[in-house]
Each structure stands twice: as structure tokens, then as C-alpha cells.
Structure 1
Amino acid sequence: MTDTVHLSIDGMEVEVAPGTLIIRAAERAGVRIPRFCDHPLLAPSANCRQCLVEVAMPGRDGVVRPMPKPQPACAMTVTDGMEVATQATSEVAAKAQAGTMEFLLINHPLDCPVCDKGGECPLQNQALELMASGAQSATRFTDVKRAFPKPLRLTSNVLLDRDRCILCQRCVRFADQVAGDPFIALQGRGAGHVGGEITPGLYSEQIGRFDASVLDFHDPHHDEDRRTIRGEAGLLASEELAGPGGEPGVLDGYASAAAPGAGEELDVSGRPFASYFSGNIIQICPVGALTSARYRFRARPMDLVSTDSVTEHDASGSALRVDMRRGVVLRRLAGEDPEVNEEWITDKDRFAFTWSSQADRLTVPLVRDEEGQLVPTSWSDALDVAATGLAEAAERGVGLLPGARLTLEDAWAWSRFARTVLGTNDIDQRVRDHSPEEDTFLAARVAGTGLGRVTYRSLEQAGQVLLVALEPEDECGSLFLRLRKAVQAGGAEVATVTAAATFGSRKLGATTVLTAPGQEARAVALLSRTHPGIVEGLSRPGATILVGERAAAVPGLLSVVDALATATGARLAWVPRRAGERGGIEAGALPFLLPGGRPVADDRARAEVARSWRAGTGQLNANRPLPERPGRDTTAILTALADGELGGLVIGGVDLRDFPDPGLARTALASSAFTVQLEVRRTEVSEHADVVLPVAPPVEKNGTFVNWEGRVRPFGQAHVSRARTDRQVLGALAAEMGTDLESEDLAVLHAQIAELGLWSGARGPVAFTEQEAQAGQDQGETGTAPVGLAAALATHKPMLDDGRLQDGEPFLAATALRPVARVAADLAERLALDPGQEVEVATDTGTITLPAAIGGVADGVVWLPECSPGSTVRQTLGAGHGSPVRISLPAPTSTEVSL
């Protein structure tokens, strides 16, 4: 078999790889063939027939003969000696394409001026091109165009105008092939289905949700029942509409046992859960059939100013395009980056962009007055008060909690401010579970390693992938999509060690090693006995272990994972949740690391950093050497503040609900003698701060995120703003305290980062101490409530939760999975608990009551969403992953009335 295929396209000789589609070969030759259904990341389908070309092929006798009919270029592969004539050189192809276009436009509404796709619509562009070339004349169709009620609300975010749909099935193929969420389908194919009888008629095919009145499983007896139950007098599921803005109040289908996914997962609005990636179908729709509830009728493409950006919602590094009109962000689209997110982003990346423009946005500095109230003031006054207060607090010590949503440049400024201005290593960006074991793991395996061997592209041919304490669909959407692509193509098999089986794991076809929360280390250590095939797969070239940040909550897990990777030779990568986590590690926003992964306790490492920071105009405060001893971690900083050992705090963008112990965080804030906050919006922390300094959100600054791969992801400033970045605010504060932080000029800052480079010295081993083991045992012995069945708590955050970075997006919030308590089957049996029935999960701190879902967790386990409406686990229960809890049925409500 030859390595290349030779053919001609419009008389030009072309050489391509075997199996190449004609339409791709034409692209390589610089020949454009019109298309609608074709997409390079979807399997060929030849639905729209717009790409018809004339093809001639050599027969068995070697004579090249034309095929009897035009062929779809998007579905036919090339062969040696093939001769292709496109619309540019073939009247047959041009006539075929013009005829296809005429059929597509027969019923298509002429509403381009008000269509969201107008101005960037492939159908519009190609129709006008054909008319301009004379290949397409005015329509010959004289009858009334087909019309449907519209819009249908596929999800709270995605609205469907069926009039415009050309049945290319891009949306259906994306849902099936890429996301694995069958929330949309081609219905009524061949004819309409009413009451089980076929109603013949042209154009009966429609795109929509699993609509009971269109698909085969329709039961007409349910119609009257639904009218009675819902009081909607004749309004059937297939007729239910949404308002122009997608406002709630109607559904487009009812849960049926025949509908894929029905009865298993519901979203907050009470409908069958659609997908975390549903917004992608809006972007790839070649017409205006699918629109966004938020963007609908808001702008035309020519009104928008576009800027390339990067997501701030997770550590994927996904490329975005931010579209603004008159200083307001109206929409975000997926950017194209084959090495990272290809052309897909999550719904959170696409729709959650209004969080920074809420009513509580900070625009001017605030200072607490003598009466204890925060009052607006000038920058000069705020910086003076902050500098004076921090100088006094520094006598006892100041802790810094920057949060992990910073850019690399901002984290660098925080790190340098801590060491050179305040003279401390008491800085920790981790607003999550952490441990001394994780400290050693990050220092040995993550910090200062740059772009490693594990990348999105390497996963496509990894062979075996093991997930540990990581749910990619919830925690890193683009990683999930790339893993699913690998699985679908046969390039990888996935296994996961987890406390809760998820739909994401099912869509990956993953081998699930279900284990009790807190016992994941033991499960990984025993894999060679329980699942020898997985260990054998990890020994093959390219095999990869992906471990999530949640592993820090399980004593010994990171050490065991490190040992497994070493023993098998598997590649190992760490996947955090927050966008700034990896960049903060590289910048030294940790108590035990300096920039570039340099250990704080290493003399050479400190000398390299000190030399770099002294090289410019900046000087260490009074030439004071960098602090030598590792500082306090987040929990130790909070404890020291609560005990009065530290005199002050500088805190960034954090949510108190995310801390391992929110109660300790509140006590620490209340005890801090002086607190300076840098934040985008007013938060609970602001109520304790003495000085609040407003900073810019990502959309109003340029900077760099470092994604989980270690890949540098720079982005531009989309919105012109007077807001200052963290590095600018800290630079001004440092100047007020007598030190030049050299953070104002990005060129200087980047030159310093590049010159310093990554740590090339020795790295210590991943270590797990006996004290940590004892602490893990102690966690399982305290904190239980007095009543109910004993259970172990498993928890993690779904992608869409109650986080502040989703504020102001009601359409997105309504698509989140409905919070449920996943209860082990043995516990449900002992409680006589039915699916959907409410169950109470309690500790001596508080109680969470949620509907129950049965199964999907190990015996004796209950899983709760960590931070969702009605389920703030750390805040309400004072518990975390692996903690003991009690579950019970709610006490019956008395209905007696006293007379």
C-alpha cells in the first residue's frame, strides 16, 4: 500500500495521504468547495449535499470514466488516478450545487436582517455567491413556506428556530460523537409520527429534543394526563415554547423511559440534563437555527469587536474569542487551537462571563473609617493606609492568601511582594485541601517542569489512561473531550479510581475502580492484584496517569500514585481545577517554593532569585536576604491569625466556602489585626477587611495563564478599563512601602521570568509522614451526628455549581445538574429509601437535605455536590471528602391543627 495518493482537482495535481476525503484534498490544493454538514472534527455524513462534485475514476481496465452522478466531496475518499472537477470547472457540479441550494432555500425564511447568524452565515454567503455568479437565479417556489412555532427551548441556554434548520445534523453529530450526550436528535425521519401512526408528508424531519409526540415512543394516552397535571389546557410537549429570551416556564418534552438519559439526571429546571457542552452546537450551526438565549437579538457581527482570550474557569487553557459591543461583552465563542481545545469549549466557558459586571463590582478603593464602615476613598489614601497598617502588622508577621485564579504575572507580583516587601514565605494560593505530602509532590513532579510529555495530543495515543481523584468532565472539560476522542478512535482505554461512578466515566467507557472515600490510596496500591490489566497497560509506552488536585485530601494517595508511575514507567500529570493554579506554582505563590520551582530552603535557589530581583532598579527591602525557612500553608496561616501569632493578612480573590475549614477562615478574618483585600467584587471577606483595593478581572487585562500541561497561554485585553491589575496594585503598594516591585512594565517582568528560567537543581522525593497518616485516621473518628446510619462522605464539585464566577447567568444556572445525594444501595435498603425521596446527611455541625439517587457509590457511602445550591458541604457540614456523616429520612411534618 502506497504512502500517498495522486489525483487531480480542477486540473491540478495533488498528492495526499490515503483515506483523505476529497473535500480535504481540495483544501490542501487551495480549492474551496461549498459545504454545510461537513466539519473537520466530525465524522462524514453527506447530509446537506452542497459539496457535490464531478468525479472520474480509473476502472479495472485503467480507463478513467466519470461516475454517473455527482458525488459528495465530504464523504468520498481519494484514490489513485481520480479526477475531480469542482463547481469552478464543471457545469455538472455547479448545476448540482445550485439545485441543492434552491431546495434548501425553498422553505428557509428570508429573515437575515433579524437573524443572529446574519453577517456570518455560511448559507447566506454561499447563496449570495451563487446568485452573483449566475448559477443561482431567483427562486421558482411560489407556495407558502413551511413554518413552525418558535423558538423551542432545547436547554435554558440554547433555543431552536426550526424554520431555519437545513438538517445538516452537525448538532446531532456533535452531541453523539464529541460530547457523548444524546440530548438532541433528528426526529420523524421519513414521516411524522402521531399516535403511533405514520402521517406522510414532506419535511416531516425535525431537529429537537427527545420529543414524545414526534418519536416512536409517543403514547397519546399521556397527553390528557399531562394537560391535567400541568393545567396547560391542550399545550402538548411538542408545542411548548420559550420566550424570546429563553425565559423558563415551558418544557419541550417529558421524561420517558424510552428517551436516552431520561429518569436518570435532571437539571435545575426539572428537565432531562442536556450537556456541559451544548453551546458548541450554536457555534457550529451553519445557519441561524440554534441561538443563545442571552445573545439572541442583541447584535450583528459587524457591531462586534473581537479579542482572542483564554478561559478563566478551569485549568484547560481553552482558547476563547470575546465579542464586545459598546464596552459590553455580549458573547464568547470557542477559539480554534488544535493543540488544546480544538474548536470546543464548555458551556461555563461560553456563557459565564457576566460575573465581573455585577452590582457589587468594586470600582474605587474602600477604607474602614473610625465607625467601622467601609467608605470610598482615593488610591493615594488607600495605599497610604494599607502601607502603614502592613508595616505595623509585619512586626508579628503577615500572611498572604492570593487565591488560585491569578495570571502568571499577577502571581509573580504576589510572590515577590511577600518575599521582598514583607519578608515572609507565609504565602499560599491553595484555597482547597492541601498537605505536606502534596508539598513534596508539587515540588518533585510539577513545579518548574514546563510543558511536559503529557499533553492533549499525547493522550490520543496513550493506550492506557488512569484517572485518580479526577473527574475530567466536571473539572477540566477540554481534557474530557480529548479523552473521549481518544477512546472513540481506539487510541486509549480509560480507568478511574473514584468514590462515585459518574456519567462522564460511562461516556469514556472507563473501567471504574469504585472505592470508599479516603481509601483511594489502598485501591491504587492493590491495582496489580485487583486489576492487573490496568497495571499492565500502564507499563506500555505512552501510558499516562492523571491525578487531580483532590488527591491531597487522601493521605498517602499522591505517594502511591508516584510509586505506581515510577514502577510502571507511566507518564504522570497533575490536573488542578483553577485557571491560575499552575501559573501560581511557577511564580512561587507557595510557602515552600520560589519562582521556577526553586525550593525555598535551597541556598542556590534563593541566590538565583535574589540575584534576578536585584538585577534591575528594584532592591530587596533594606537589602534584606530572602527568608530561608518554608512558610506556613493556608491552614497554618489561618490558625496563626486566629491565635494572634500573625499580625495581618493580604488576601486575594477567594471564596470562604472553598476553604477546607470555612469556620476557621471566618475566625481568622475576624481575629486579624489588619487585613488588605484585592478583589474584583465585594465579598464576605470585605466585611472583615480594613482596606479593599479593586483589581481587574481577566476580561479587562492582558496576561498569561499556564494550563495543566504546563503550556503558556497568553491572552489579550478585551475591554478597555481603568481597573488596575493585581501586579499594578501590589507594585503601587510596594512603592508606598519603599520597594520597587518592577511589576508595572510587562516587558521587564517577562524578561525577568525568562532569564530566571526553571529550576535545574535536585528535587526531593514524594514523602508521606506518619503524622499525616494519623491525621487521616483522626478524621474518620470525629465529627459525627448523634442519629442516623453511619456513612462515609464523598464529594467533589460539579462543573456548574454555586460558584461566584457563574453569578448573573440564570440561563446557565438552570442547566446545571440538580443537586442530589447519591446513596449506596445498602444504605438505601436499610432506610427503605426510594429514588427521589429526600434524605438528610448530617454531622454535629449541620444538615443537608437533598433528593436521593440510589447507587453509583461504594457500600456505606453517600456522595454530595461540594458547593451547589442547598449543598455547601464544607460550610454546612464542616466536613470534607472521607469524613464520617449520618444519613436519615427527614422527620415527618405534622399536619395536625390545634383548635
Structure 2
Amino acid sequence: MTATADKAAVETVTLTIDGQEVTVPKGTLIIRAAEQIGVEIPRFCDHPALKPAGACRQCLVDVASPGPDGNLRAFPKPQASCTMAVTEGMVVNTQHTSEEADRAQKGVMELLLINHPLDCPVCDKGGECPLQNQAMSHGHSETRFVDVKRIFEKPLPLSSEILLDRERCVLCQRCTRFSKEIAGDAFIDLQNRGAMQQIGTFNENVLDFDGYTPAAPAAEDESGRAFSSYYSGNTVQICPVGALTSAAYRFRSRPFDLVSSPGISEHDSSGSAIRTDHRRGKILRRLADNDPVVNEDWITDKDRFAFSWQNLSDRLERPLVRKDGELVEASWPEAIAAAAAGLKAARDGKGVGVLPGGRVTLEDAYAYGKFARVALGTNDIDHRTRLASAEEQAFLGSTVAASGLGVTFADLEKAPSVLMVGFEPEDEGGVVFLRLRKSLGKQKVFTAAPFLSRGAEKLAASLLPVAPGGEAALLDGLDGDAVEALSAEGAVIIVGERLAATPGALTAAASLATRTGARLAWIPRRAGERGAVEAGTLPGLLPGGRAATDATARAGVAEAWGVDSLPSTEGRDAAAIIAAASAGDLDALVVGGVTASDVTGLADAVANAGFVVSLEVRRSDVAEQADVVLPVAPPSEKAGTFVNWEGRLRSFATAIATDALSDYRVLDILARELGADLHAGTIAEINGELAALGAAPAPQRPAVPAAKAPKAPKKGDVVLASWHQLIDEGALQDGEPYLAGTGRATVARVSKATAKAAGFSEGAITVTGATGESISVPAVITDMVDGVVWLPTKSPGSWVAQELGVAPGTVVTVKGGA
């Protein structure tokens, strides 16, 4: 770097604030410079993550700057410190040193309070309200206003979850700026002028988005679509008054009644930092915790509102044992003994399959893997209760496991170009979408998909049209602008877990990364997937990316675990475990937190297995069919670590102390009953073993097998495409009806040509799988690949795994009408 460039990179200016000299980078706002020396300037509209607006005028200060002759020249009136950048030699006097600035701030506060209701005792913001605080510190002690305050009908439902009390609004525009700038969902905006100016929903005529209806009947000038955004809850948190509230929390508590605990969201692999507020052992709300390296100031609505599932009425509090065909409560010793007896018999017979699911913590996953190999003597373990393949397992072992902190959120934000394959960031990545959108206009985004999703449109992505099953060929043959863009330094290729369904696709993605020099990032959907890979809960993968079939790798792990040997035969994957249990080729299953309706055939496998042990938080479908049910703690009641998609360790402490046990603790006790010592009774023990094992050397990692090209569909065939909407009917959203009401409408998507071939023009469409089961939902003609029908994986009326019984990429039948 040249001296000139180095100087430009750190160019600073020096100014004086309240008599204190301060040096800050050029371009710094006055309000930020004041913060650096501990000078507080009151504000409402200012937010460090939003563009300056100068809307509330509460941050007025006196400013003087040197003129052309070098003499200070005072501005004729106070200036908004949240919009003015500092200049060399500037002198700023805040309310602490300037009577004019103090008078101006008090005048603004008086104007804001003229129409603001005096309902602090019943307002949800009471006790943590910036307006309340600053009215006391920077306002008049008495009001001069004696007329009737402005009133509005309240509340105005912007959606089923977000409610607006317009008379409290101070028109700071934080909510509208967040919606436009950060989320890209401009469903609310300023309306009217003067004294009647207010925040409201857009008129529906300016929107062109299918599948939405107004949140509630409203006056003509207020009519519009629901505030349909996956990130709408952030507007409630950043609202500096009580104008925006959530239906789930409204009137339920006061901030000073709550105990706050930091945590990590369990809903996706981003590992977003959250704050859990609880009272008397019950969670009442969750907020975004500021974490500059991961989620910054924002979380998804799913992270924020989907927590009721942990404390529903079907929560398991005591173990259950099946007696005379019925599940009855039992003591822990009795349940552990019954589980051990059944598993021991199965271990000595046809064996046991272990399905931990993708939602467990790193420590829990490690315990499941060790339990399977040490206590049960099997490699029949797989957390991937979704579409998976041997190619994906080898890819994860060779490229992802024990790779440390790879591509980061910051890398995504700074990347000149990003290619997404088998991944929809808004639906499957949460805050990944927000970080990509920060670079809108500065970053080229490509998405390989059947059509441009709404999230991809908001990223201004270029579509690389491909039907499910064609991704490998697309990546192998990619050229032109996309390859040129990916060859730029810092470019990133994102592959999602759905790519495992296409033979050769992950191999092709790795080859494309090598060819272009782009970095490769694997972003799964569930929070525990990356940690489970690190822990080795795969049929052919041990901790640290070691191949379970490699003798040297097995010997090293066996020595670390203090056992003579480990099973040498590669185990069955989740689909094979389910098939074997259904066919009677396995005598038992251990299932941890897997929802039967998410996995084709699991319900039959559980029903046909000779013996089933379920580790669950609630009485799920699997638990109802199990022989022994062992209750385990939800995330809020245990400590642990999620490993997010970056490879970043996201540890969290117990928020609510209860007697509930973590999965790893239950497995440790159960293993002892089976005659094995896992040494997995504490987090410290587990993390110590993981650290000692470390990463596998290259020779001990699995080789990626040659993948067979997928069978091309015949002319006229229609292939199923599907992915989960962020807000759907997943088990972790149970008990939250307000959030469910914000989910996107369930529609099928087909191209005009596909619809014509199916005899469809408008209305409902029926999709039928190979087994004869079908789904009928409203359809939308979409600009997309011909010969493809898209359905949401688990939205109301469209539970693909349970109702169709086929996987995405499978040929289905489509016809018009219900």
C-alpha cells in the first residue's frame, strides 16, 4: 500500500465537543463523535444501523465551523447532530454547554409530548422507553398543553403479530427505514401530512405481491397488505416509544418484572444472538442481542417469536415407560433400566439405529455419536433426517468438518459476487439474507433455482434457471458472466443442504470453486447440523472429519475414548436406518427430537421397530409410539454450544434453571447402565475430548465417491421442487398463532407452459406423487423453468414428506382443479 493510500484509509479530523478535543475518522457524524467521549445527545430517529434521517430533531446542538478565512462561524440555528458530519476545527456545544441547544431540545420534546398519551403504566414500553427517559432528563417538568390530544382507533393490526398504536408514534421513521433499507419489505410508510401524519400500511394498489390479504378491515385511506415480512419484529424492538407492539407480548409483563438472559437462537444455522426475558420460569419474550460479527442488531421473526413450543401443555416432565400397551410415568431409575434392557437385547440381536436429528447442540451430538459406537457398537447413526447422500457425507468430511472458521458473515457482505445453489437465504438462512442485502448494488448475486424467489428478487439476483436434479450439469457447464464474476477475489459459492439430493452437485460445486478461485460455504437449515458434522454423528464419519472406515482414524479415536476398538463397517444413513427398521432388519431405534411428519417413512419405522427409545422435550408423534420416553431439556433450560454455518462456536448458558437434563447427560447415564462409560456427563468433559481429538489429517478423511448422473426426466414429466418457508408449520413454531398468521400463503408455482399442459389456468392445482397421495392448493403462474412444480415443504395444506411421500426431484403428476 502506498503512503498516500494509507493516509487516505485513516484520514481523520479533529474537533471540539463541549470543550473536549476529539479526533475521529473523516465522515463521522457529530452524534457518533460525541459518543466516543461519553457525551450523550438525546435522540429518537437515530440508529447506528440505519441511514441518517433527521426526522425527530431531538438531537439539536450548536455548531460552529471555520470559514474560508479560518475564523469560526456559528450556524444561525441548532443543527441535527445525527445528520451532520464533522469537519476539521468544528466546535460543537450540546445541551450540556449551550443554553440554545438545551432550549431547542426541550422545545422539541414539548412538541412530541403534545399529542403523546400519558399511558406509561399500561404501555408495553414503560420502564425501557427512551421517550420516557428523555422526557425526564431533557424535558419540562410541567406541560403547557391544555387542549384535547389527538386520538386514533387502536390498535391498527399491521399483521397478526405486529400492532400499531398510532397516537404514541413520534414519527421517527425507524420502522419504515428498517423495512425499506434492511429487510426490503416496504409494507408500511408515512401517510398524510401535518398534524395528521402517521405511520400506516401501504395502499394495496401500489403493491403487486400474490398470496396476501389485508391484516384487518380498515378505512379506505389505510387499506393495504399485511406487514408481510420475516423481520417485522425488529421494528417493535427499535421503536423508541410504545407505538409498535407484538400481539404475543402485549400487556403481558413489564420490563422490570423480567429476568434477562443472553442466548443463541435454535431456529437456523446462523447462530443469532438473542436475549431471553422470562418470569417465574416462563419465557415471555425474546429480543435481538447485538452481535456485530453475526446478526448485528437483527433477528428473524422466527427467532424472536417462536419459543412457546418449549412450554406447551404436552411438555414432558417425567420419564414414560410402556406397560400393557400404555405409556405411564416412571422414575428415572426405572426408565433408564427399561431402556437399557431393550437396547441391550437389540444390540445383541439385529442392532440399533440412532437418529439424533439436526437440532441438538454440539455436546449432545457428540454424546449421541459416542453412545452409538461405544455403548451400542454400531455406526448406524445419522443426524440428517432429510435428503442426504454418501457424496454429501464425503463432502462434509473432506471440506466442512474441522475446517475451523471458514467463510464468515463479513466475507459474504464484502464478496464482489455470490452464487447460491440449493439455498434460499431468506427462507433457509435468516440473517444471511440481511447481510447479503447490505451489499445491494455493490455485489453480483446469482441463484441456481427453478425461479426467482421473493428473497432473491430483493437481492437483485440473476437467475440461473435449473430444474431439481440439473444442478450438477449447470455447475459443470457454467461459463460467461457468472464464471467471470466468481473469478473475482473474495467471491463466494454458497451450497445448501438441498444440494445433497442431486448426484454430483456438491462435487461440481467444489470443482467450480477450484476453477474460479471462489470460496465455498455450506449453509444447512437447522441449528445443530454443523455441530453434528464436527461431532461425527454420521454413519461414515467420526469426530474431526475422520473416516469411520479408516483403521488409523478408528484407532486414534478409540484410544482417546479409552476403548479397545470401534465398529469398522460403515453404517446406514438415516434413510437406510428408517427402511431397515420398517423391514424388521433393526431391532431398535434411538430417536432424539425428530418430527415424524418431516421424514418420509419414519412413522412406519417407529411403529414397526421392536423397541424405541425417544429423547424428547414434548409428547411428539415419535414419543407416543416409543417404548421408553426420556424427557430432555429445551435450549432455554440447558447450557451448550451451537456451531453456526461459519464454523463459529456459539456457546450459551442456562437461561431458566430447572431439573431437566440435557441429551448428553441422559445418554451418559444410559450408557453406564449398558456397561459403557462415555465420560460425557459435563460440557467440560466433552469439550476437552473434542479439543484433544482435533482435526483429522488428510489421509484419514473420506474420499468423495464418483457420483452417477441423475436420470433425466422424460419429455412431459413434471419434477417436484420444494423448500421450507421460514414461517411454516414446523414443530418449533407450535403454540404461536400470531406468528403463524404472518406466514406466506401456501401456493403451488408452475410456469405458463406447465400449467397449460396440465389443463390449468387459474384456481387450485393438484400434485400427485408416485404412491397416489396428493396435495391440492391454489396455484400461481410464475416465470420459471418448464416441467417443474414448486410446493412449500411444510406449510398449511402442503406437508410434502407426509402427504406426498416423495422427495423433491421426483417426477409427480400435475392437473388443474382440487
TM over 0.5: yes
Q: TM-score range by the shorter chain?
A: over 0.9
SS at match of 1:203: helix
Alignment partner of 2:432 out of 479, 483, 506: 479
Alignment partner of 1:777 out of 695, 702, 711: 711
Aligned to 1:822: 749
Equivalences for residues 805-844 of structure 1 within 5 A: 805-831=732-758, 833-835=760-762, 837-844=763-770
Q: Answer whether contact 2:201 2:227 (CA < 8 A) is retained.
A: no
Return 758-767 or 478-487, whichever deviates more: 758-767
Deviations 1:365-414 (A, max 9, x none): 11111x21111111111111111111110012111111110011111111
1:359 equivalenced with 2:313 (yes/no)? yes
Aligned to 2:545: 597
Aligned to 1:467: 420
1:383 equivalenced with 2:362 (yes/no)? no
The one-letter amino acid paired with 1:330 is L
Equivalences for residues 601-750 of structure 1 within 5 A: 601-614=549-562, 620=563, 624-659=564-599, 662-663=600-601, 665-750=602-687
The one-letter amino acid paired with 1:187 is Q
Deviations 1:598-639 (A, max 9, x none): 22123332233223222xxxxx3xxx4112232111112122
Alignment partner of 1:237 out of 200, 211, 218: 218
Name the CA distance, whole Å, in 2 between partners of 1:508 and 1:630.
42
Aligned to 2:199: 207
Quick one: structure 1 residues 167 and 762, their matched pair in 2 at CA, closer, same or farther if it must change by over 3 Å? Answer: same
Name the CA distance, whole Å, in 1 between partners of 2:389 and 2:137.
63
Q: How far is the alpha carbon of 1:111 from its aligned partner?
A: 0.6
Q: Answer whether contact 1:365 1:693 (CA < 8 A) is retained.
A: yes
The one-letter amino acid paired with 1:683 is S
Name the CA distance, whole Å, in 2 between partners of 1:517 and 1:738.
47
The one-letter amino acid paired with 2:573 is D
Q: How far is the alpha carbon of 1:735 from its aligned partner?
A: 1.4
Q: How far is the alpha carbon of 1:753 from its aligned partner?
A: 2.0
The one-letter amino acid paired with 1:383 is I
Deviations 1:641-665 (A, max 9, x none): 2333322111111012222xx23x2
Name the CA distance, whole Å, in 1 between partners of 2:775 and 2:363.
40
The one-letter amino acid paired with 1:253 is S
Aligned to 1:22: 30
Aligned to 1:194: none
Name the CA distance, whole Å, in 2 between partners of 1:353 and 1:560.
39
Q: How far is the alpha carbon of 1:857 from its aligned partner?
A: 2.0
SS at match of 2:457: helix
Aligned to 1:586: 534
Quick one: structure 1 residues 146 and 348, their matched pair in 2 at CA, closer, same or farther if it must change by over 3 Å? Answer: same
Quick one: structure 1 residues 585 and 159, their matched pair in 2 at CA, closer, same or farther if it must change by over 3 Å? Answer: same
Aligned to 2:210: none
Q: Answer whether contact 1:701 1:716 (CA < 8 A) is retained.
A: yes
Name the CA distance, whole Å, in 1 between partners of 2:313 and 2:451.
38
- Deviation >4 Å, runs of 4+: 763-766
Name the CA distance, whole Å, in 1 between partners of 2:367 and 2:701.
27
Name the CA distance, whole Å, in 2 between partners of 1:667 and 1:746.
35
The one-letter amino acid paired with 2:105 is Q
Name the CA distance, whole Å, in 2 between partners of 1:487 and 1:759.
39
Aligned to 1:796: 723
Name the CA distance, whole Å, in 1 between partners of 2:42 and 2:111.
15
The one-letter amino acid paired with 1:816 is G
Q: Answer whether contact 2:228 2:744 (CA < 8 A) is retained.
A: no
Alignment partner of 2:499 out of 527, 533, 551: 551
Q: How far is the alpha carbon of 1:208 from its aligned partner?
A: 1.1
Name the CA distance, whole Å, in 1 between partners of 2:426 and 2:362.
25
Q: How far is the alpha carbon of 1:455 from its aligned partner?
A: 0.3
Q: How far is the alpha carbon of 1:236 from its aligned partner?
A: 6.4
SS at match of 2:434: helix
Quick one: structure 1 residues 777 and 273, their matched pair in 2 at CA, closer, same or farther if it must change by over 3 Å? Answer: farther
Paired-residue identity, %:
54
Name the CA distance, whole Å, in 1 between partners of 2:177 and 2:699.
50
Q: How far is the alpha carbon of 1:831 from its aligned partner?
A: 4.7
CA RMSD of superposed structures (Å): 2.0
Name the CA distance, whole Å, in 2 between partners of 1:745 and 1:438.
31
Q: How far is the alpha carbon of 1:96 from its aligned partner?
A: 1.0
1:497 equivalenced with 2:448 (yes/no)? yes
SS at match of 1:97: helix
Equivalences for residues 314-325 of structure 1 within 5 A: 314-325=268-279
The one-letter amino acid paired with 2:111 is F
Aligned to 1:220: none
The one-letter amino acid paired with 2:421 is V
Name the CA distance, whole Å, in 1 between partners of 2:86 and 2:219.
43
Aligned to 2:403: 449
Q: Answer whether contact 2:281 2:656 (CA < 8 A) is retained.
A: yes
Deviations 1:708-734 (A, max 9, x none): 000000111111211111011111111
Aligned to 2:694: 757
Aligned to 1:198: none
SS at match of 1:710: coil
Name the CA distance, whole Å, in 1 between partners of 2:111 and 2:629.
62
Q: Answer whether contact 1:556 1:768 (CA < 8 A) is retained.
A: no
Equivalences for residues 865-884 of structure 1 within 5 A: 865-884=792-811
Aligned to 1:436: 390
Name the CA distance, whole Å, in 2 between partners of 1:51 and 1:361.
49
The one-letter amino acid paired with 2:125 is K
Aligned to 2:96: 88
Deviations 1:804-838 (A, max 9, x none): 11000110001100100111111223456344x11
Q: Answer whether contact 2:55 2:171 (CA < 8 A) is retained.
A: yes
Name the CA distance, whole Å, in 2 between partners of 1:29 and 1:124.
24
1:159 equivalenced with 2:163 (yes/no)? yes
Aligned to 2:704: 767
Aligned to 1:108: 116
Deviations 1:312-369 (A, max 9, x none): 0100100000000111110000011000000100000100100121222111111111
Aligned to 1:894: none
Name the CA distance, whole Å, in 2 between partners of 1:15 and 1:797.
50
Q: Answer whether contact 1:322 1:718 (CA < 8 A) is retained.
A: yes
SS at match of 1:849: strand
Q: How far is the alpha carbon of 1:273 from its aligned partner?
A: 5.8
The one-letter amino acid paired with 2:765 is V
Name the CA distance, whole Å, in 2 between partners of 1:873 and 1:825.
23
1:61 equivalenced with 2:53 (yes/no)? no
Aligned to 2:260: 306
Deviations 1:97-141 (A, max 9, x none): 11110100111100111100001000000110125xxxx241111
Name the CA distance, whole Å, in 1 between partners of 2:83 and 2:566.
64
Return 573-582 or 671-680, whichever deviates more: 671-680
Deviations 1:818-868 (A, max 9, x none): 100111111223456344x11111124211111111113211211101111
Q: Answer whether contact 2:387 2:498 (CA < 8 A) is retained.
A: yes
- Counting matched residue pairs gives 802
The one-letter amino acid paired with 1:504 is G
Q: Answer whether contact 2:66 2:72 (CA < 8 A) is retained.
A: yes
The one-letter amino acid paired with 1:458 is D
Return 5+ residue gaps in structure 1 as ranges. 191-201, 218-228, 241-251, 255-270, 615-619, 892-899
Alignment partner of 1:399 out of 353, 376, 381: 353
1:349 equivalenced with 2:303 (yes/no)? yes
Name the CA distance, whole Å, in 1 between partners of 2:437 and 2:23.
31
Alignment partner of 1:506 out of 457, 461, 472: 457
Quick one: structure 1 residues 873 and 733, their matched pair in 2 at CA, closer, same or farther if it must change by over 3 Å? Answer: same
Equivalences for residues 99-138 of structure 1 within 5 A: 99-131=107-139, 136-138=140-142
Aligned to 1:257: none
Aligned to 2:46: 38
Normalising to structure 1: TM-score of the pair?
0.87
Aligned to 1:336: 290
Name the CA distance, whole Å, in 2 between partners of 1:673 and 1:759.
37
Name the CA distance, whole Å, in 1 between partners of 2:475 and 2:698.
30
Return 5+ residue gaps in structure 2 as ranges. 1-7, 208-212
Aligned to 1:372: 325
Alignment partner of 1:253 out of 223, 226, 229: 223
SS at match of 2:219: helix
